[in-house]
């Protein structure tokens, strides 16, 4: 018999139970559901709403159910609809009438809102920890390769010289923002909704602050209608995870390019690569490609929940049962992606000679040549035009700025002297960008120290 069957004179139609049940996926909330019920039962006893002996019996029964679930001794059935009714039914079977008193002064509406927040608080902390671990791997790669010069790109065209460490710090900063967003999300998620009831709280003299304190929440929700119908915290974490996966996807794209034979900047460890069933020479960057592909799944999870919530009136609606599967999928995807991505970064090997060779082509020191002219007194736009003509001359003659003679330079401006050759060397180009955020060695060391401090503060 269903716990809500008193109002009804007929059973649900065939297939309705299966269609409406959420136990197949919300069973993963069993720990949160039991912890919330224990806190609720303890509060009911403390407030005299139920007998203390009943509260103690309920708590003991719930703890035994938790142990049996984790031991694999309990199988969930769709007839109980969801994790809340599954636990309550099992409790009543074990301890009798005392178990029927557990649901006093609460509803499944505020119960699921509590369970969901508890679950996401924990998973957000797990994701944060794994993201910090990835930042550590990125920092380690930078520390091992501080002096490796490579080209930086705009429009996927070689643009200006930089260092691999400077490049890695760009991704470290993206990931640092991801951790910051997760921290912000945790602050807004940290509200305890139990006590909102079905939608307008309860007539019982409950102590919501006691429950919040026991469950580790910093505060309670302030409005009961909002308490049961709010899923902003779920949307916010999905948004944060989408941005995080976007960063991993961009990083993946770079790795995929860098380990191709066209670039050959890096080589991935064999343990994080796969081969071809037909082409024996292949070494495929499957981990990076899968992360890039799984990013779309997380985007889809965000859109799914936004679409569910976009036109729901207050308060709870059954549509909101569709909030969990997108969140579970996104959380699982991100938690699977982060550690394996960190391991891939930690084990990849650089080919610094290829990076430097690529930086030597493509006239990526052209801006530095123009800047040298500016420092001699030529207006920047005039210097820009002079160097543009120089580059065009080099392309026509198959030369580079480094291989031109001074006579050729002076065909375009009599300002040029031999000092320009020092200014356009790759090492000089990098060292000259000695401003905060730039690729000069001392600036990159400062960036690395900032990231190192952030890791320490968030570990």
Query: DSSP string spanning 339-404?
Result: HHHHHHHHH-EE-HHHHHHHHHSTTTTHHHHHHHHHHTT--HHHHHHHHHHHHHHHHHHT--TTT-
Write down the pLDDT at residue 79. 84
Domain end, chosen from 79, 104, 129, is at 104
**Domains in the chain: how many in total?**
3
**338 and 126 Cβ atoms separated by less than 8 Å:** no
Least confident residue range of 47-61, 77-91, 174-188: 77-91
Structure tokens at 164: 């691999």
User: Is 26 found in the same domain as 122?
Assistant: no
Do 86 and 148 sit in the same domain of this protein?
A: no
Residues 89-120: tens digit of each pLDDT: 999 999 999 999 999 999 999 999 999 999 99
Within this chain, do residues 98 and 164 fall inside the same structural domain, yes or no? no
What are the Cα distances from residue 14, in Å, to 9, 10, 79, 293, 385? Answer: 16, 12, 12, 39, 79
Global confidence as pTM: 0.92
Token pair of 56, please? 């103690």
Domain end point (choices 336, 357, 378) = 357
What is the per-residue pLDDT for 32?
Answer: 98
Q: Tell me the pLDDT of the chain averaged across its residues.
A: 95
DSSP-assigned letter for residue 220: E
In the chain the first and final C-alpha atoms are separated, in Å, by 49
Measure the CA–CA gap between 33 and 76, rounded to whole angstroms. Answer: 14
pLDDT at 301 over 80: yes
Residue 285 and residue 262: Cα distance in Å, rounded? 14
CATH number of domain containing 344: 1.20.200.10
pLDDT value at residue 347 = 98
Confidence bin at 58 (pLDDT 50/70/90): very high
- Distances in whole angstroms, Cα of residue 438 to Cα of each of 111, 151, 157, 165: 51, 14, 20, 11
Q: Are residues 408 and 353 in the same domain?
A: no
Q: Are residues 387 and 365 located together in one domain of the fold?
A: yes
Owning domain of residue 435? 361-457
What pLDDT was estimated at residue 2?
58
Q: Are residues 164 and 221 in the same domain?
A: yes
Same domain, 152 and 217: yes
**What is the chain's alpha carbon radius of gyration, rounded to the nearest angstrom?**
30
pLDDT at 1 over 60: no
Assess whether 155 carries a catalytic annotation.
yes
CATH of the domain at 69: 1.10.275.10
HSE, side-chain direction, 13 A CA sphere, residue 131: 31
Longest distance between any two alpha carbons in the chain, whole Å = 101
Instruction: Give me the pLDDT at residue 11, please.
Output: 74
Pair 333, 300: CB distance under 8 Å:
no
Can you spell out the DSSP letters for 140-159? HHHHTTTT-EEEEEETTEEE
Share of the chain above pLDDT 70, in %: 97
**Is the pLDDT reported for residue 239 higher than 60?**
yes
pLDDT for position 78? 85
Q: DSSP string covering 13-36, please?
A: PTTHHHHH--HHHHGGGHHHHHHH
Band (pLDDT 50/70/90 cuts) for residue 16 is confident
Assess whether 219 and 113 both reside in one domain.
Answer: yes
**117-153 per-residue burial string, b: 16 or more CB within 10 A, e: under 16:** bbbbbebbeebbbbbbbbbbbbbebbeebeebbbbbb
Q: Where are the alpha helices (DSSP H) in 259-351?
A: 286-309, 324-347
Give the model's pLDDT for residue 51. 98
Choose, from 5, 53, 218, 276, the residue flagged as catalytic: 276
Looking at residue 143, its pLDDT comes to 98
Q: What is the pLDDT of residues 114-160, one digit of tens each?
A: 999 999 999 999 999 999 999 999 999 999 999 999 999 999 999 99
Give the phi and the psi of residue 240 in degrees, each rounded to 5.
Answer: -60, -40
Q: Which of 155, 277, 311, 396 is catalytic?
A: 155
Query: Please, which pLDDT band fits residue 18 given cuts at 50, 70 and 90?
Result: confident
Q: What was the pLDDT predicted at 80?
A: 86
> If you average pLDDT over residues 30-36, what whole number do you get?
98
Quote helix, strand, coil % in the chain, to nearest 5. 65, 5, 30
**What was the pLDDT predicted at 206?**
98
How far is the C-alpha of 90 from the C-alpha of 80, rounded, in Å? 10
Answer yes or no: are the C-beta atoms of 61 and 94 closer than 8 Å: yes
**Tokens 């369970």 identify what position?**
115
Q: Which residues pair with 266 in a beta bridge?
A: 350
Spatial separation of the C-alpha atoms in residues 92 and 99, rounded to whole Å: 4
């Amino acid at each position: 018999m269903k716990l809500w069957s008193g109002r009804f004179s007929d059973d649900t139609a065939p297939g309705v139970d299966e269609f409406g049940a959420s136990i197949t996926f919300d069973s993963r909330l069993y720990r949160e559901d039991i912890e919330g019920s224990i806190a609720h039962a303890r509060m009911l006893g403390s407030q005299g709403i139920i007998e203390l002996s009943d509260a103690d019996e309920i708590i003991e029964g719930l703890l035994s159910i938790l142990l049996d679930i984790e031991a694999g001794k309990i199988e969930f059935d769709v007839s109980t609809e969801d994790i809340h009714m599954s636990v309550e039914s099992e409790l009543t079977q074990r301890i009798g009438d005392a178990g029927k008193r557990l649901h006093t002064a609460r509803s499944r509406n505020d119960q699921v809102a509590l369970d969901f927040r508890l679950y996401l608080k924990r998973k957000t902390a797990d994701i944060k920890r794994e993201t910090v671990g990835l930042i550590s791997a990125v920092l380690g790669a930078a520390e091992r390769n501080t002096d490796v010069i490579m080209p930086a790109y705009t429009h996927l065209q070689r643009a200006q010289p930089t260092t691999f460490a400077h490049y890695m710090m760009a991704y470290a900063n993206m990931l640092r923002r991801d951790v910051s967003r997760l921290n912000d999300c945790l602050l807004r998620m940290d509200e305890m909704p139990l006590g909102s009831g079905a939608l307008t709280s309860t007539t019982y003299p409950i102590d919501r602050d006691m429950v919040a304190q026991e469950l580790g929440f910093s505060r309670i929700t302030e409005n009961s209608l909002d308490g049961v119908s709010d899923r902003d915290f779920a949307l916010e974490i999905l948004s944060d995870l989408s941005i995080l996966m976007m960063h991993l996807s961009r990083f993946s794209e770079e790795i995929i390019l860098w380990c191709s034979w066209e670039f050959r900047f890096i080589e991935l460890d064999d343990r994080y690569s796969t081969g071809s069933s037909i082409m024996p020479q292949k070494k495929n960057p499957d981990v990076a490609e899968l992360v890039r592909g799984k990013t779309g799944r997380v985007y889809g999870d965000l859109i799914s929940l936004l679409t569910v919530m976009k036109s729901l009136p207050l308060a709870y609606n059954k549509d909101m049962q569709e909030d969990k599967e997108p969140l579970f999928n996104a959380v699982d995807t991100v938690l699977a992606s982060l550690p394996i991505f960190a391991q891939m970064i930690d084990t990849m090997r650089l080919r610094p000679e290829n990076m430097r060779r690529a930086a030597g082509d493509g006239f990526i020191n052209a801006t530095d040549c123009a800047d040298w002219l500016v420092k001699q007194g030529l207006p920047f736009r005039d210097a820009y035009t002079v160097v543009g003509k120089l580059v065009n001359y080099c392309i026509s003659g198959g030369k580079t700025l480094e291989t031109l003679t001074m006579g050729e330079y002076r065909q375009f401006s009599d300002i040029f002297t031999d000092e320009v050759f020092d200014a356009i060397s790759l090492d000089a180009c990098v060292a000259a960008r000695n401003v905060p955020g730039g690729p000069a060695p001392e600036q990159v060391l400062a960036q690395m120290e900032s990231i190192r401090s952030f890791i320490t503060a968030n570990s």
